[in-house]
Structure 1
């Protein structure tokens, strides 16, 4: 197909702008001898060389890897024997950017790389995306005739880098580091490692959860919606937080200006005698403003950097989705993006997680109204109020959709919100239903009663009798169905129709004592006697499958929760056990303080909350290494039976007797 002069001019204009789109993140100049890292960030060879040397000098030890200067992704040196000053040279060349820049500089024609190897010079007309080489008309004709090469994607040389944004996808290797001839086709969830089938058979044969990349791609919708989540969800949430910080900065400025104006009005009548004091006050105000400005600039900068990274990741994802292989897009790139998001949000949380609102005003010095000679006109009245919501909360929730868990533990505490009273009742359990209702089990009568309570007013709006001694409740939001375990050998299910509990049915296949229950993936997990079993919550529910043995006792009270393919449950030995989904023990925690744990819940921030039947509340890190005492005595509840959390994951309900104490989880 012939090209018109206007078409050629248009392409030349596009390429003339290309150098401006490829700046080095270190020196901000157009990339020179561009090198690309596995995270798909590109740098000048000299810039990344100096960065590596600087990293080695700071650590003052022999290093085996370094962090990307932009996203902090760890880059490992492939050749362990290579000298430090050769690391940058051995990094992957960004052929795409190098090709575009070569064409861009003075409209210099790119030479056919095949001919060049034979000391011949011909202008390149085409580019093969698979071979990563430029070809002249004669060579591309021969290339396209070969059976193994005829399916390659060949484009005009002017289109190189136009849709890829300068990304050289060869930096994301599809081959195993241990076995270079083997493709990476397996992922171990336990070690968070991708490898070939040979590595899986040697190094991961005892791991619980090893799946092929193809199986993961087809079974998880998250990989298919990554671009949408980056563009529409995470970037939107982060942008909202950035705007809030910018508005906060503007508010601080306005309050500072108003405060200064108040002070100026106060001293108008005695300005001649108070100039010195007024200047001192203005300096104090300026220092405060500068400090707050610096504080907010740090937060704004981090948020702007995160948005830039998100835009980069979204762009990379789009390129990988359209130009990369299945392994590159659906798995290796996804894991890299998840790690980058985790690093960035963790840094953000450390800075923005616990913040304050500033309320600034001018406080008059009463003495000034009586005495002419004073050494200051007043002081800044600074009132710090804790924010009602965690501004990073939305970002954390979105990260959890990416299977990224940001753990917080230090500074955890609780604040009492209210107490709900149900006279004459004997509350044994409860569960939140969406953000509207609480369902309570009441053993004060025979048969027992299920109370449907308005979560805002605390008033009972519906009562339903049940022929069983209610022990634990679980609400399945996907089915809008409630599962009810009892102290007898009974397990019930009930549908929620608007504000009515309807169709309470006994699950017929259960003939054993059951206890706590919760859902993970497609199954309901439940404590049955001295084991954990599971069943599929179909209509009617399918029979329980074999589980794994535990030292539990479902005739009494117990607790269980599942997070990130780990089951946490209480035992008859007063322990907190953590195991894999197939029963492999991960850790066992026991403390002299926690005398009788009967209920546990896991927060989205990966902190386990433990209810002690003796009347105390504790926090435990998800690795079982850190414990904190949250409360040693409840406001009204004296004999706690159960605990559950709200849908927003920061409100805890404790039930026992006639009362429910409601607490808010906070982090300093």
Structure 2
């Protein structure tokens, strides 16, 4: 829904909340006072603590990169583009009596009143500047209006500038045709220069259901948006799940390392305890040996002292006695010392690391992250998930032709207990169905083929034979077995039934350019819709044919060359002019129950055994498109897709170019 923009909001700076002064625009189109945005940039740099390379928009936080980042930060605001549009609107809003100045003159410090406004440039011009504007090649085709006839603010808000009908190649020409062969819009020059040999070109004015295409586009955009939203939700959910998995992996890694640390701490404690015990044993052994050596040293010292005294003061006999005793004592002390020293002792020690611990020490990674990747989804599967169900917007395939046209099943809608006799499109996604629901209950149903919802129903006491829909008047025409012919207005529901005068048995019906055509009693009759609805018209014979209206028959009109295609009594496919002149007759098929026609002239033929054929525009070639539908075919209808109906079912096929 569009939002009403307040003038005060447009002219208010989002930083100081006052009227804009020297408005400066950021690339994101938000506008601020030059002083305000300059202070904002400087305060952002002060908070960062270093020179900025970029800064965020104060409103939407979009990153803005200055055009000259090497300049002083204080100069960045003045280098931003001046918002001349806002400035001019502010000038206009200050006083309704104030005249609009020429923007180009104002840039040259001149003052001249503007007489014209350019919608593309969003600027006002005086007469002299307008001449220069019109001489420039890039602005020569801009839309220029009188300044007094436009309220600049409301004009820009209410008129979409993208709605243009001029050719993008030949600027001076209007797009007035569409090439179905190349799926391109054309002007008269495009047709002459690039599409001379194309066969399927139609004037845009002659293309039917143009408004319906916009409705389909809006519906399909909504459909794609919903599909994208669902896919986004799925991806977000996947992201949340994977983030939880990654968090779990992180916790497992941390837990493992913590457990390893705890185990290593325990191993270190046991190792240090063992090391201390060995060291204590070594210290005790060394102390014992040191003590024995000290004792041995003391004995030697005592013997030396005694020998000195005996040598100085003793007799020879005393000296001999002391010698013998000292010899025995020394021998005993030496034996004790040797005995104390001659025990096991630690000569050297080194640290031998456990092989498992060596692996941990030398490990270059803690563990591997085993990622299981899904196989990339095929591109056509992404297209299936994101593209709309209709092929109206499919431009990836080549143009349709008799040689490459094919059918691709989209869906089957089951309607048990509903014996469908006829179907017709009333939009790209709504199909009208007519059939018997109970023994004597006949109903017309409008079904949305996108979601299979029944939008509206209409009960009839008469057995319905064929349907036709007029996209312009929104009327559904219904022919019945018992000669009755009536119409129903349908937009969102059925209303205002109009019975059309008729005295003969009616078969197939068709609406073309405001005229109802019908096969009636071995003839083709017609009448204008205007006269029929006014009650002043009746079906008048155009020409005679041999088709029996008592059996199923087909009737379509080729909009391309304004020819009529119908079935004959012997199941031949006959093409005539609207006045009955035979163009071709094709007798290659049998048991024909219904016809449909593509805008390029290819005729689709439905047969009761469930086979679908196509016939070339000249009637000379026939191809089988579908060997067997779900059940027997009662009717077919073509719009953006092909609808095939029968007893209790409706099948939808996309009409594609086989690549």
Question: What TM-score bracket applies, with the shorter chain setting the length?
Answer: 0.3 to 0.5
TM-score under structure 1 length normalisation: 0.42
Q: Which structure has the larger Rg over C-alpha atoms?
A: 2
